[in-house]
Structure 1
Amino acid sequence: MTHVVDRHALIDGYRIAYGVHGAGEPVVLVHGTPSSSYIWRNVVPRLVDAGYRAHVFDLLGYGLSERPWDTAVDTSITGNVAILDGLLDLWGLDSFHLVAHDIGGGVAQRFGVRSIERLRTLTLIDVVSFDTYPSERTRQQMADGLEVLAKRPDDEHREHFREWLLSTHSEPANFDPEALRVYVDLISGPIGQPSLFQHQVAHYDPAHTMEISDRLHTLGQVPVQLIWGADDTWQVIDHAHRLRRAIPGSALHVIDDCGHFAPEERPAEVAAGICRFIAQH
């Protein structure tokens, strides 16, 4: 298991796991669900080799960061914007390149429309937007009751989410078995399983992105690119085109034979796309 977070800080009173790698222009990477900064482990070294300083962290309620017991603690997209703010203060970053995946894209959009002057470039990878989430399958799970799901037998829970995670790849058989085990472990067990539903699934609410959907044009004030897996079944390619139309001047780069977990499935292409885009701007 190779995690890219190796430090911890108290941000707004909560323990957040983070890592800083390399030297050069700062690139901040924000992961999504049901993953963690682990998804960047094969992207970060390539950014470092290209001369960038990569800043990564686990969202509050995710990965190796704190999983608050108090259900009133906000671990939603909106709540994690405040965590990003605190880390930027810790890192002393006034401006930076922002890269985000999945739910992290919601965090990036909310940050961007509020603080566009701080962004040098923005890269959005298979991100949520508008009302494109949760999926119909997840909506049904939520309707069945999250407390019931949080108490399912461990083996049933693990098998269900192992199969769910496999659907993030265009070719499930190519999902690295060790990586799959790490992802499943982080959302399973006596802490991981209830945390998944309390801190992640309970906040799959498109209100967080719909609220700022009429301001997405603001993001066009900086260079924006969308990177999308052609075979993404979680955030289908039509969502990418809708988001591109909403952000003036944005570019869309589609990776063939790639699903929703592009940083996991095709890290070389993702890293190259990030580096190329930053260099161009």
Structure 2
Amino acid sequence: MDHLVNNHVLINNTRIAHGVHGDGSPVVLIHGTPSSSYIWRNTLPALVAAGHKVHVYDLLGYGLSERPWDPEIDTSVTGQVPILEGLLDHWGLEDAHIIAHDIGGAVAQRLAIFSQPRVRSLTLIDVVSFDSWPSKRTHQQMQAGLGALIEAPDADHRAHFRDWLLSTVQHKERLAETSLETFLEFIANPIGQGSLFQHQVRHYDPKHTDELTPRLAELGQIAVQLIWGADDAWQVVDWARKLHEAIPGSELHVLEDCGHFAMEDQPEKISGLLVDFLKRKG
């Protein structure tokens, strides 16, 4: 497969994989868990064609970026914000349009609230917010104890998380035929399996978004678009409506036949919404 990140840079002494595509007004794409920047492969081309310079990267501990061995290195949502700010500086961007998915949306919300001048507009796609996470299924796994999953044989781990990833979409056969194995490979094998729990699952904590709840109205000072899968089983659409009510002037688009990995289920519709929003608000 062709990854969107083809460069590497040290940010805060950690290696981050990133890529820059096209020319024009700056856009930054932030993925979530348990995915990588690869999830943007079907939407990035439309943004480039519409005249945007698109900046994409893998979160620290994810995808092709470094998987720190030191447990003291913070790869939580809060810990990812300084990485993003360092990347903005590396890219020479004072500000940019931010488009984010899943927990990447929490990183984006924190940036927009605590460093609002750096955000021209904000698009949040099936993101975590309030105390909406971890999802019911993941919470049950965590309550049952992660030890068995961490120490499971590779084949059992792959089978479990293949099913987990398939629950993110409506079009399961299409995911299986395209990106499923790519996403799975990042969180499998001896390195990926341990990294999944060290850098992702152990940081599924709503404290990172609960802190933002009383300040969400401040996001009304910038243009905000919410895009949600009507069939999202991880972040049900009720959270989208609650977030929409909390952010004055925000736009909400709910897409039918669309799950949590919305860019996998409805890439054409999402590409159209992104291009239109940036044209109107850019």
Q: What TM-score range do you get, normalising by the shorter chain?
A: over 0.9
Alignment-derived partner of residue 248 in structure 2: 248
Q: More displaced, 110-119 or 134-143?
A: 134-143
Letter in 2 for 1:26: P
Per-residue deviation, 1:145: 3.1
Alignment-derived partner of residue 79 in structure 2: 79
Per-residue deviation, 1:141: 1.8
* In structure 1, distance between residues paired with 2:254 and 2:276: 14
Per-residue deviation, 1:95: 1.3
Per-residue deviation, 1:45: 1.1
Alignment-derived partner of residue 259 in structure 1: 259
Alignment-derived partner of residue 268 in structure 1: 268
* In structure 2, distance between residues paired with 1:108 and 1:85: 11
Alignment-derived partner of residue 197 in structure 2: 197
* In structure 1, distance between residues paired with 2:209 and 2:166: 26
SS at match of 1:175: helix
Asked if the contact 1:116–1:218 (Cα under 8 Å) also holds between the matched residues in 2, the reply is no
Letter in 1 for 2:169: H
Letter in 1 for 2:45: P
* In structure 1, distance between residues paired with 2:239 and 2:60: 26
Instruction: Give ranges in structure 1 of 5+ residues lacking alignment.
Output: none
Per-residue deviation, 1:176: 4.2
SS at match of 2:248: coil
Pairing 1:113–2:120 present: no
Give CA deviations for 1:45-88 in whole Å, capped at 9, x if unaligned: 11111111110000000000000011111000000001001000
What is the TM-score when the length of structure 1 is the normalising length?
Answer: 0.98
* In structure 2, distance between residues paired with 1:105 and 1:244: 14
Percent identity (aligned):
60
* In structure 2, distance between residues paired with 1:51 and 1:189: 39
* In structure 2, distance between residues paired with 1:142 and 1:70: 22
* In structure 2, distance between residues paired with 1:273 and 1:110: 23
Counting matched residue pairs gives 281
* Structure 1 segment 165-176 matched on structure 2, within 5 A: 165-176=165-176
Letter in 2 for 1:51: G
Instruction: Give ranges in structure 2 of 5+ residues lacking alignment.
Output: none
Alignment-derived partner of residue 91 in structure 2: 91
* In structure 1, distance between residues paired with 2:77 and 2:42: 24
Letter in 2 for 1:6: N
SS at match of 1:216: helix
What is the TM-score when the length of structure 2 is the normalising length?
Answer: 0.97
* In structure 2, distance between residues paired with 1:86 and 1:174: 36
Alignment-derived partner of residue 213 in structure 2: 213
Give CA deviations for 1:206-254 in whole Å, capped at 9, x if unaligned: 0000011110111110110000011111111100000001100001011
Query: CA 1:251–1:278 in structure 2 vs 1: closer, same or farther (change >3 Å)?
Result: same
Asked if the contact 1:101–1:127 (Cα under 8 Å) also holds between the matched residues in 2, the reply is yes
SS at match of 1:245: helix
Asked if the contact 1:18–1:58 (Cα under 8 Å) also holds between the matched residues in 2, the reply is yes
Alignment-derived partner of residue 157 in structure 1: 157
Letter in 1 for 2:145: G
Asked if the contact 1:146–1:202 (Cα under 8 Å) also holds between the matched residues in 2, the reply is no
Give CA deviations for 1:105-161 in whole Å, capped at 9, x if unaligned: 000001110111221111000000000000222122223333432110111110111
* In structure 2, distance between residues paired with 1:95 and 1:151: 43
Per-residue deviation, 1:170: 1.6
Pairing 1:26–2:26 present: yes
Alignment-derived partner of residue 145 in structure 1: 145
Per-residue deviation, 1:177: 2.0
